[in-house]
């Protein structure tokens, strides 16, 4: 560490990473999109691991004051939005989460119609870091 107070020129440190948090995709104040490669949806609920940037992510009483958000679209293999799962219908995720379950139009997830179908996910991100996503069926 280069400190003259360490007589044996050795040191120890500890790093703490969030689960599944070694690498992320980051968008600043200007919104960015990330579209996955096509994959077959196995079943289960979709969960998203993300972190908001800025200082307002803990204002649970006023989500409009949040600096960051994550939105989500479901796409077919050709890249067309699956009806009912567009960005405009996506309920923005406003609070840091390791396993947030996105919703569309305020309804609980119902991904049964896409089980076994080839889909893509398009994440719309502003002032946030996206770490990972998963299906609860795949653990």
Task: Judge residue 48's burial from the number of C-beta atoms within 10 Å of its C-beta, 0-12 exposed, 13-18 middle, 19 or more buried.
Answer: buried
Give the integer Cα–Cα distance in Å for 122 and 48: 12
Give the integer Cα–Cα distance in Å for 72 and 110: 14
Q: Does the pLDDT value for residue 75 go beyond 50?
A: yes
Q: Does the pLDDT value for residue 54 go beyond 70?
A: yes
More confident residue, 36 or 18: 36
Residue 20 — pLDDT band, cuts 50, 70, 90?
confident
pLDDT at 139: 54
| Residues contacting residue 5 through CB under 8 Å, at least 6 positions apart | none
pLDDT in tens, 40-52: 999 999 999 999 9
């Amino acid at each position: 560490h280069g400190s003259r107070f360490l007589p044996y020129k050795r040191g120890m440190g500890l790093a703490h990473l969030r689960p599944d948090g070694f690498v992320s995709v980051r968008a600043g104040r200007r919104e960015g999109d990330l579209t996955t490669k096509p994959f077959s949806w196995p079943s289960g609920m979709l969960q998203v691991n993300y972190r908001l940037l800025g200082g307002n992510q803990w204002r649970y009483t006023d989500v409009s004051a949040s600096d960051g958000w994550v939105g989500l679209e479901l796409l077919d293999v050709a890249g067309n939005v699956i009806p009912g799962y567009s960005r405009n219908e996506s309920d923005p995720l406003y609070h840091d989460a390791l396993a947030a379950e996105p919703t569309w139009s305020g309804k609980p997830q119902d991904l049964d119609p896409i089980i076994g179908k080839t889909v893509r996910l398009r994440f719309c991100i502003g002032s946030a870091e996206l770490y990972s996503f998963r299906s609860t069926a795949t653990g």
